[in-house]
Amino acid sequence: MEQHVIPTERVMEIIGNERSFAVTDCVCRTEYKRCDNPVRVCLLLNDSADRQVKKGSADRITVGEAEVVLQKANDHGLIHLTFYEPGEKLYALCSCCSCCCHDLQLMRSTRRNDLIAQSGYVAVTSESSCTNCGRCTERCVFDARCLTDDGLQVDMEKCYGCGLCITTCPEHAIELKEKATLV
């Protein structure tokens, strides 16, 4: 099983191509209860959705309802993680917080950044538009952004391209760019 960070816009594109959806409770947030973020924000897709609905552990939803769930997760600053079965078959989209998510906690505590794959994007900030308000630094769970006396500093190696900083920037000074185009 592979996990990848994925930005909200990309998630919205992906779910448009799937045939079946279900929503279920976040296993990590239900178990650890370290925050008051929404619990019912993890999506199951296709065969996985069908199986869990049949078992009674998830509720069938429409693509429109899935988009609402994903937007709610983004509004709360949750990171979208995709889960793939061998052969690159996407079966789940979880919306994770850094305080409860087992995998994010493990990655941070062991400093093993290879446990979760980066999205292939980085968040690039326009220096001329940025007002150094710090909202993006507060929302970045990967510690890729910080404010110093010299202004906003971004460590592109730490950026996973989740896009949470983009959706919180009041100046719209941040955009996602493919890492490959920045070489």
Q: Residues 11, 98: one domain?
A: yes
Ramachandran category for residue 174: left, alpha or beta (phi over 0 → left; psi -120 to 50 → alpha): beta
Tell me the pLDDT of the chain averaged across its residues: 90
Q: Is residue 153 a part of any domain in this protein? A: yes
pLDDT at 179 over 90: no
Q: Residues 79, 20: one domain?
A: yes
Q: Is residue 156 a part of any domain in this protein? A: yes
Q: Residues 102, 129: one domain?
A: no
Q: Is residue 81 a part of any domain in this protein? A: yes
Q: What is the pTM of this model?
A: 0.86
Q: Residues 81, 143: one domain?
A: no
**Taking residues 108-137, what's their average pLDDT?**
88
Instruction: Write down which residue in 40, 71, 106 finishes a domain.
Output: 106
What total number of domains does the chain contain?
A: 2
Q: Is residue 35 a part of any domain in this protein? A: yes
pLDDT of residue 1: 59
pLDDT of residue 183: 61
Q: Residues 33, 98: one domain?
A: yes
Q: Do residues 24 and 38 touch, judged by C-beta distance below 8 A?
A: no
Q: Residues 62, 140: one domain?
A: no
Q: Is residue 111 a part of any domain in this protein? A: no
Q: What is the pLDDT of residues 79-107, one digit of tens each?
A: 999 887 766 678 899 999 989 998 888 88
Instruction: Write down which residue in 106, 139, 161 finishes a domain.
Output: 106
Q: Is residue 112 a part of any domain in this protein? A: no
Instruction: Please give the residue that has the higher pLDDT: either 160 or 181.
Output: 160
Q: Do residues 24 and 40 touch, judged by C-beta distance below 8 A?
A: yes
Q: Residues 100, 156: one domain?
A: no
pLDDT of residue 94: 93
pLDDT grade for 120, boundaries at 50, 70 and 90: confident
Q: Residues 98, 13: one domain?
A: yes
Cα–Cα distance measured from residue 142 to residue 161, given in angstroms and rounded to the nearest whole number: 10
Q: Is residue 113 a part of any domain in this protein? A: no
Instruction: Write down which residue in 51, 81, 106 finishes a domain.
Output: 106
Residue percentage of the chain with pLDDT more than 90: 63
Q: Residues 90, 148: one domain?
A: no
**Taking residues 132-152, what's their average pLDDT?**
93
CATH number of the domain to which 158 belongs? 3.30.70.20
pLDDT at 125 over 90: yes
Helices 8-15 and 63-75, interaxial angle, to 10°?
Answer: 170
**Taking residues 51-77, what's their average pLDDT?**
95
Domain that holds residue 135: 120-182
pLDDT at 2 over 80: no
Q: Residues 137, 84: one domain?
A: no
Q: Is residue 33 a part of any domain in this protein? A: yes
pLDDT at 109 over 70: yes
